[in-house]
Structure 1
Amino acid sequence: MTQTVPTDVRLPWGTTPNGEFTVKGTVVASVMGTLAVFVTLPLGILGILLSCQGLDRVARRDHSARRFLIWSWICFVPGTVLGVPLAVLLLASLIKNLLA
């Protein structure tokens, strides 16, 4: 017997009714999660934990799943906002040193 998601439940962005990420959701979560872990460790870990809880709740058809996943994306944002410029600066510095 298969279960379907009730029509009144909106799935969080990037998830399937089975509680898994879509391909786009996987790519975005992986990049943002990695940057968050390396740049803002506590927020990165918290984001990963909230994401796991949210995906589990999507699979159980719990209405709070959307809230958990939104908070996980919010936890990933500072690491991404800080991580991208830092990565660009690091890459520019490495190229400058190689060419000098």
Structure 2
Amino acid sequence: MGKSLVADYDSGGLYVKDAMLLLKKDKNLSLKYLLGIINSRLLTYYYQKFFITIDVLKNALLSLPIIPLDLSSPTEKAKYEKMVNLVERMMELNKRLAKAQTPQKKKI
């Protein structure tokens, strides 16, 4: 536990230990979008400034200022797609980093 927001994405239905909040999949919204928002430095900063507990609490997460997007708007849909693409890229890079065997490959 700590005073930092950390979220992860499980696409394989793996065992989850110490999970605080699990969300149902929404057919219109990728959880990867929410993952990007929760793991952002901006939301972590907000959480650290406005919540005084050491633990990341469910009610605090639910009260974070995450504005729902109107995906019928081309501008908001573009922002949504960019966030999802960035999260997918980070997930792929983290997989490659985990497989890297040498310090040189970890820098690539």
- TM-score after normalising by structure 2: 0.34
Structure with more contact order per residue of length (Cα contacts < 8 Å, sep ≥ 6): 2
Q: Which of the pair has more CA radius of gyration?
A: 1
- TM-score after normalising by structure 1: 0.36
Q: Which structure shows the higher helix fraction? A: 1
